[in-house]
Amino acid sequence: MAGETAANGNSNGRGIMLALMAIMVFGGQDVAGKILVQDYAPAQIVMIRYWSFAAFALFLVMRQGKLRHAFRARRPLVHVLRGALLIADVLLFALAVQTLPLGELHAVLLLFPILVTVFSIPLLGETIGPFRWGAVFAGFVGSLIILRPGFGEFDIGLVYGLAAAVVFALYNVLTRLTARDDSTATAMLYAGVVGLVVSGAIGIFYWVPLTLEAWGLIAITWVSTALGHFLMMRSLHFAPASLLQPFNFLMLPWAILMSLIFFGVGIDPISLVGATIIIAAGLTVTWRERVKARAVTPAMFAASAGEATTRQQVSAAEMPRDKTPAP
């Protein structure tokens, strides 16, 4: 029994370490992306980044079986909508990072797990208790502190960042919905193909030749996309999603550090207060979900854990940029 406990501890430790490495890689990806969108249209950069993501998704799907089998879906229109939401999220992120410091943008994006809780009520029929309702309210208070409407100079990047959090939350709720009937391969294939088509249809109108330096930064985003997602998926092999979820909030201090190092810009104290409130709210949501998981029977808990891990693998394989995995 002691040996089994030690083995579980070692496995969880490896998972946490791999998840932290993925966060660091995704932070580097954000730095390269922010530099690129200062000189090139976000639509063009997103289109080019989707080339590697689509190739990555097709590679993973083809390893599992034939493509035509993966295209068969119980809810094809929902999958198409998911793909459209994902490309919208990535484009909104690129628009936001043009003007916002990385730390401030990630502070807004931390609303994502709280928004998932809200959207799960009408779309998935879930119910939440007073603890999570309180966390939702606190999260929105934190976002208002960061946005500070009517006070000081307003940055449109904050609107893009908030919209990105909303869109990505909807995407993840729809991922939970489609996971009831369709495979991970189907989810990845639709996200890759739909994103490739939509990003190409928009990005082609913004095309301008890239310098050698820009192509070097593009190469960094391609490599970091594949490496970051590989590390995230490996972390889920060693540790459950519920254990890894809180560590994703470390993306905020890492983003602040990257912003200070590469751009000389941190996060203002007021926004940091708002971000701290959002993190506390997000951790409350995560804690309550773990408490609910422990309340079910052992058999039900095993099934729920397996489903959560599957959703995490879908999210990790489908995200062309860093994101907090679905709770």
Task: Give the least confident one: 35-39, 64-68, 205-209.
Answer: 64-68
Average pLDDT over the chain, rounded to an integer: 81
Query: Is residue 115 within 8 Å of 169, Cβ to Cβ?
Result: yes
Mean local confidence (pLDDT), 266-272: 86
% residues pLDDT > 70 (the chain):
83
Q: What is the pTM of this model?
A: 0.81
Please say if the pLDDT value at position 189 is more than 70. yes
Per-residue pLDDT reduced to its tens digit, 283-293: 888 777 666 65
Q: In Å, how far from its chain's centre is CA 189?
A: 18
